[in-house]
Amino acid sequence: MKEYELTVLIHPDLEANLDAALAKVRDIITGAGGEITSEDNWGKKKLAYRINKEDFAVYVYMDVKLPADAPLKISNTLNITDEVLRYLLVTVDEKGRALLAEDKKRASERSESEETKEEE
């Protein structure tokens, strides 16, 4: 299975009952044979431009693992789902993730070395 990043913009009127809309998205993913590895709700944010007469949307980011035929199934289903204003499903850039992890490691090492210098 290949790793993907899925960002879903959910209709802002569903913010009070977000669990039902997210359950529907999760069912779409698992129904296509996928698996959600992590999920992050970014909250309600203003859109850069109006979508379906809406100025705001609830952003939800997910890391998913999908079999080869699942992205097409998920895309087709999300296109006709009323709760979803827009979505973006992209493959994970392994080199980019490795560079980010390396940068975080260097930053933490730098901050640790600065703390030890201050203690001396």
3-35 pLDDT, tens digit per residue, is 999 999 999 988 888 899 999 999 999 999 999
- Using CA atoms, how far residue 3 sits from 6, 20, 37, 59, 80, in Å, is 10, 25, 9, 20, 24
Q: What is the pLDDT of residues 58-73, one digit of tens each?
A: 999 999 999 989 999 9
> What pTM does this model have?
0.77
- In sequence order, what are the residues at sequence separation of 6 or more whose Cβ sits closer than 8 angstroms to the Cβ of residue 108? none
Domain ranges of the chain: 2-92
Asked if residue 36 has pLDDT above 80, the reply is yes
Mean pLDDT of the chain, nearest integer:
89
Q: What is the pLDDT of residue 110?
A: 81
Cα 90 to Cα 104: distance, rounded to the nearest angstrom? 23
Asked if residue 120 has pLDDT above 70, the reply is no
Asked if residue 117 has pLDDT above 70, the reply is no
Comparison of pLDDT for 93 and 24, the residue scoring more = 24
Comparison of pLDDT for 55 and 120, the residue scoring more = 55
Residue 46 forms beta bridges with which residues? 56
Find the helix packing angle between 70-79 and 18-31, rounded to 10°. 150
Architecture of domain 2-92 in this structure = 2-Layer Sandwich (3.30)
Cα 63 to Cα 3: distance, rounded to the nearest angstrom? 7
